[in-house]
Amino acid sequence: MDDGIFLQPVGILRAASAALALGRGLARPLGGGPLAFMAVRIWWAGSTGLTSDIVPVPELATWSRARGDAVTASVAGWLDRLSAPRPPFAGLALDRPLLMGVVNVTPDSFSDGGDHATADLAIAHGHQLRAEGADILDVGGESTRPGAEPVAVDEELGRVLAVVSAFAAAGIPVSIDTRRSAVMAAAIAEGARIVNDVTALAGDPESLGVVAASGASVVLMHMRGEPATMQRAPAYAHAPSDIYRYLHGRLQTCRAAGIAAGRIAVDPGIGFGKTLDHNLALLDGAAMLHGLGVAVAMGVSRKGFIGRLADIPEPKGRLGGSLAAGFAALNQGVQILRVHDMAATRQARQIWLALGSV
């Protein structure tokens, strides 16, 4: 686990500034994408608890050598993983951020429950999202909002399979948002390319084998506890490194089961067993997750932390905050952004991409 050392890239640059810093050896690429970082905040456990130091990239070798061979090797490994190019995910190149459109076929999801609760409505909504710029459609048949109760597997299957089949038949990359192995297997058989699991393939003992055997890609998300209880006083010693450690463990389990790193993305699970401060720390420090060496996904759209910060109780009224949080995620190198408001988010992404070209 890299001896308890965690590197969080800071001083993140884009466009001409990134190219200049890279050319002068002052920075390293971030996640193999268009961003570069000029320094890292190094976190480690000291005698008085977790501590950190900010070290510019050109000084890292000297900083590491002063602390011994083990630290030197750990920091070098981190830098390699932070900077390495990422292969395509589910057949989709990561040379620009991908937009994953939310298709909730549920009566009780937190922001749009009941809006698309039948197959026909969900299919029409998905095609609209695709027309507005969605790269992936994420189909879910069970709400995992805070306080949600589980639904029966047969009911979840009845909600999602026709929807997945319709999108796959149209050639649209489909993700199935589920924590049940039976739903994963059936959706993959209908053409789903991605499994998006809030339990990181730990919630159902059969799910790891289903995904490994299928060839599908997977998004491993962090969640503390169950949806019904996850917001009851969640606590972490240091949310970014605690969640990194958890996802590292799940990644290792998946690799051991035969799921190649190129088939895996990780998601810190904003709002899933986190306080407002935890969510902000995770969003601000998302670049640390590139140290896992895989694609990074994130869902901030309409989340409760936006409502609390901006005093917007209605989730559908949180577009401005969703766009701002999404922009912040892109500036941390997040490669897959899960969103509800596709047309507006695509506009924001196009501006972000244009600003990165000058």
- What does the pLDDT look like over 3-15, one tens digit per residue? 689 999 999 999 8
Same domain, 28 and 150: no
Q: Domain total for the chain?
A: 2
Whether residue 238 sits in one domain with residue 193: yes
Query: How far is it, in rounded angstroms, from Cα 184 to Cα 298?
Result: 20
Whether 326 and 239 map to the same domain: the answer is: yes
Whole-number pLDDT of residue 62: 97
Is the sign of the CA dihedral 122, 279, 133, 196 positive or negative? negative
Token pair in block for residue 185: 């297997």
Q: Which of 352, 349, 357 is nearest to 132 (CA)?
A: 349
Q: Give residue 200's pLDDT.
A: 98
Examine the domain organization and report whether 299 and 219 are in the same domain: yes
Whole-angstrom Cα distance, residue 21 to residue 59?
14
Measure the CA–CA gap between 270 and 309, rounded to whole angstroms: 14
Phi/psi class of residue 99: alpha, beta or left (left: φ > 0; alpha: ψ in -120 to 50)? beta
104 assigned to some structural domain: yes
pLDDT at 158: 96
The single residue of 14, 274, 338, 349 carrying the catalytic annotation is 338
* SS3 call for 334: coil
- pLDDT of 1 reads 46
Q: pLDDT, tens digit, for every residue of 272-315?
A: 999 999 999 999 999 999 999 999 999 999 999 999 999 999 99
- Please give the DSSP secondary-structure letter assigned to residue 31: T
- Look up 316 and say whether it is catalytic: no
Residue 317 lies in a domain: yes
CA distances from 41 to 6, 29, 47, 248 (A): 8, 16, 18, 19
Transcribe 319-339 into DSSP letters.
HHHHHHHHHHHHTTT--EEEE
Q: Are residues 189 and 335 in the same domain?
A: yes
Last residue of a domain, one of 83, 108, 132: 83
Assess if residue 89 is contained within a domain.
no
Are 318 and 183 part of one and the same domain? yes
Q: Are residues 187 and 267 in the same domain?
A: yes
Residue 88 belongs to a domain: no
Residue 303 is part of a domain; what is its CATH number? 3.20.20.20
Question: Token digits for 75?
Answer: 């920091």
Domain check: are 302 and 248 in the same one? yes
Supply the pLDDT for residue 157: 97
Q: Identify the domain boundary among 59, 83, 107.
A: 83
Same domain, 36 and 174: no
- Catalytic-role residue among 179, 180, 193, 303: 303
3-state DSSP assignment of residue 274 = coil
pLDDT at 217: 98
Q: Are residues 114 and 75 in the same domain?
A: no
What pLDDT does residue 219 have? 98
Phi/psi at 75 (nearest 5 deg)?
-65, -40
In this structure, the answer to whether residues 168 and 251 fall within a common structural domain is: yes
Rounded CA-CA distance 287/8 in Å is 6
Domain that holds residue 179: 98-355
249 in a domain, yes or no? yes
Same domain, 66 and 170: no
Residues in a beta bridge with 137: 101, 174
Residue 326 located in a structural domain: yes
| CA dist., res. 140 & res. 147, Å (int) | 17
Instruction: Calculate ∠ Cα 248-254-259, nearest 5°.
Output: 130
Last residue of a domain, one of 33, 48, 83: 83
Domain-located, residue 343 = yes
349 is annotated as an active-site residue: no
Residue 304 in any domain: the answer is yes
pLDDT in tens, the chain (358 residues): 446 899 999 999 998 999 999 999 999 999 988 999 999 999 998 777 789 999 999 999 999 999 999 999 999 999 999 999 999 999 999 999 999 999 999 885 556 556 777 999 999 999 999 999 999 999 999 988 777 678 899 999 999 999 999 999 999 999 999 999 999 999 999 999 999 999 999 999 999 999 999 999 999 999 987 887 888 889 999 999 999 999 999 999 999 999 999 999 999 999 999 999 999 999 999 999 999 999 999 999 999 999 999 999 999 999 999 999 999 999 999 999 999 999 999 999 999 999 877 6
pLDDT value for 110: 55
